[in-house]
Structures are given as C-alpha cells and as structure tokens.
Amino acid sequence: MEKKATRFITLTTDWGNQDYYLGMLSGKLYSIADHLKVVELSHNVPTFNYVHAAFVLKHSFTHFPEGTIHICMVNSDSTERQQMLVFEYAKHYFVVPDNGTISLIAEEIPGKVYGIPTDNSNSFASLESVTLAVGMLLLNNGLDEFAIEATSVKKLTPIRPVPEKDGITGRVIYIDSYQNAITNIPRNEFDELGKGRRFTIFVQSYSNGINKLCRSYQEAEDGELIALFNSLDLLEIAIKNGHLAQMYNLSVNSSIMVRFHNDENLLTL
C-alpha cells in the first residue's frame, strides 16, 4: 500500500488538558485519516478569548508547511453567528468561528470565505462542523465542492498605535506565560517616528521610564525593567527573570507611551 504524505493540522483552544473535548476532536480527526500529524499549538488560551487565540495563530501558522489546516476552537459554540468559517490564506487553510477571528489573522479578508452551519440543538455543535470541514479539505476537491460561500462575516479592527508629534502611544496586545507584555508598536513605526532621537518608554505611570532598548534578555540584570523588539519586531516590555504584568498591574489594552526628545535628559513632566 502506498504511504500517504503527512498532512499537518494545528489546534488552538481554550479547553485546557483536563476535559474530554480534546480527546473527542483528536479522535475524530484521526478517524478521518490516520496519516495526520496533529500539533497542539495551545489549549491554554484564556476562556473565550479569541483575540488571544488569533494572536497565537497569526504568529505561528507561517512556520508550518504550506497546506497545513489550522483549527481554532475558542468561543466556537458561544458566538451569535452559528457557523464555522473555512478559508484559504497564504497557502494555508483555516477553520475558525465566525466571531471576528478571521480579521485578526489575515491582513486582508480572503476573496472567498465559506461558512459551515452549526446545529445549536447540540451542546458541542462546532465539533461536527469542524470534522466535516477537515474531511473535505483532505479530499483536495476545493472549497466550492462542499461549502457555501459566506455572504457576510464578523470583522474586528485591530487596535493600531497612535502616532503623535513627539511620541507614539500603543497598547498591550498579548501577555505571555512569563508575564511579559507584547505591545502593538512595531519596530518600523518606532524608528520612523523617532528619527534617531532619544526616548523614554513609560509603563503605567511617568515614574516608570525606560530610556534604552536591549537587543536580548542577556543584556539586562535580574529584576531590571527592560524594553526590546522581539522576534515579531514588536515592542516588548519585561522584567528580567520577573513577572512584569503582575508587578505593574498590566493587562491587555494597558497603554504604553513612548516619548521622543532631543536632549540627553530623560523626559520629565
């Protein structure tokens, strides 16, 4: 018998690892095709937090082989739009709830997005919809063969940093498991607005200022408040070997202010 090529599937959920949901979905996937390679990106997404889930997916999927199927099951049975969306983007396939996740993953909504209805009489209705979608995607017959194009999908507008004359104000968009705060301030905007000037990055208050960027955590001392551009080229705030979010009471949407100045003194207000 000819060996079938491995097909990758990723899972992103808020289920944790203690309940039976993961076993149900994994079992159904392997029942469809035993040559699958199921990769669990995360089952520890905060409950119902599809914005967090979209961040994980957006910054992970490109590292997988083209043709990988990415499944997101966060808020999948609580959304008011009773359908799962299936679409192709950047030569990958996605199966996500119709709750705005699509607009947080894709820079532009794909030209064709397909909807698979969920049966709200079932407490885990999205499971059957996902199983159907994966089964048909594996047949490689094209999305038009099994799904109806969605007439409308829920869209969310990603929060952008606000540029100012002498600075930029961003927000925390993700807090990782080390309690480091990742902001929505990209390196290119920081450099473009800063024009090589000195700067101060304020964390929560004007008494907590950072006036240098580290290239890596190795450049900092234990307990030091630091800023650096991470592997995503986003401004990240952290405490070396500490728990920044907890110590500074930061959460998603907390403001991070950058102020540029031309002299050697720290900016004071």
Does residue 262 or residue 115 have the better pLDDT? 115
Given a cut of 60, whether residue 129 has pLDDT beyond it is: yes
**46 and 144 in one domain?**
yes
12 shares a domain with 145: yes
Same domain, 135 and 169: no
CATH number at residue 121: 3.40.50.10790
Where does a domain end: 149, 172, 199? 149
Per-residue pLDDT averaged across 38-61, rounded? 94
Per-residue pLDDT averaged across 62-67, rounded? 96
Instruction: Give the mean pLDDT of 131-141.
Output: 84
Lowest-pLDDT range, 55-64, 96-105, 115-124, 232-241? Answer: 115-124
> In this structure, are 176 and 205 located in the same domain?
yes
pLDDT in tens, 234-252: 999 999 999 999 999 999 9
pLDDT band at 268 (very low <50, low <70, confident <90, very high): very low
Co-location of 168 and 132 in the same domain: no
Between 205 and 109, the more confident residue is 109
DSSP 214: B
156 located within any domain: no
12 and 145, same domain (yes or no): yes
- Of 247, 251, 225, nearest to 238 (Cα)? 225
Matching residue, tokens 């910054």 = 59
Residues 52 and 120 in one domain: yes
Q: Answer for the pair 75, 45: CB distance below 8 angstroms, yes or no.
A: no
Q: What is the pLDDT of residues 141-165, one digit of tens each?
A: 667 777 788 888 999 988 899 998 8
Structural domains in the chain (count): 2
Whole-structure pTM value? 0.87
Q: Is 266 inside any structural domain?
A: no
Q: How far apart are CA 157 and CA 40, in angstroms?
A: 27
Domain membership of residue 16 as a residue range: 7-149
- Do 138 and 54 fall within a single domain? yes
Mean pLDDT (the chain, rounded)? 89
Tell me the CATH number at 167: 2.40.30.90
Last residue of a domain, one of 149, 176, 199: 149
Instruction: Based on the fold, state whether residues 209 and 254 are members of the same structural domain.
Output: yes
Q: Is the pLDDT of residue 15 over 70?
A: yes
Q: Does residue 188 carry a pLDDT above 50?
A: yes
The answer on 39 and 126 residing in a single domain is: yes
Query: Is 155 a domain residue?
Result: no
Q: Which pLDDT band holds residue 1 (cuts at 50, 70, 90)?
A: very low
214 vs 169, 171, 224, 249, CA distance in Å?
Answer: 20, 20, 11, 22
